[in-house]
Amino acid sequence: MNTDIFSASGAIQLRERARKELLALEAGGENFLRISVIPGGCSGMTYSACIDNTLSDTDQVVYADDDLRIVADTNSVAYLDGLEIDYSDDLIASGFRFKNPKAKKGCGCGASFQV
């Protein structure tokens, strides 16, 4: 069992490195991480993520624990089931990494996917 993966209420798994980075970005408390799946990239779909503090009627909490929430709009939720979020501090391309088991195809740079 991999102990650095968190899977609270919802279908998203959050690696410890990503969780720590989100908390450092003040994604806890009233703030939360908003993830959207939008058309874009060379494979058709891409992720958009930002820290937010306002919920809308079309939002759904897809991950929650004592310190952190991840929210997505209802159109994006279908693409997020099983999503694993990690964080890499590579010198060339640091940032959040999204691994989606539903992705049938991805682009070479990993920025977009197709289901």
Task: Considering only CA atoms, give the Rg of the chain.
Answer: 14
User: How would you classify residue 78: left for phi > 0, otherwise alpha for psi between -120 and 50, otherwise beta?
Assistant: alpha
**Other CB atoms within 10 Å distance of the CB of residue 33:** 24
| Average pLDDT score, the chain | 81
Average pLDDT over residues 86-95: 85
Which residue, among 22, 73, 78, 32, has the nearest Cα to 52 in the 3D structure? 32
Tens of pLDDT, residue by residue over 40-70, are 777 678 888 899 999 999 999 988 888 899 9
pLDDT value for 45:
82
Domain boundaries, the chain: 5-114
Element (H, E) at 22: helix 16-24
Structure tokens, 103: 């992705």
pLDDT value for 7:
52
Between 115 and 98, the more confident residue is 98
Strands 13-15 and 84-88, by their bridges, are parallel
Overall pTM > 0.85: no
CATH number for the domain formed by residue range(s) 5-114: 2.60.300.12
Residue with tokens 């809308």: 56
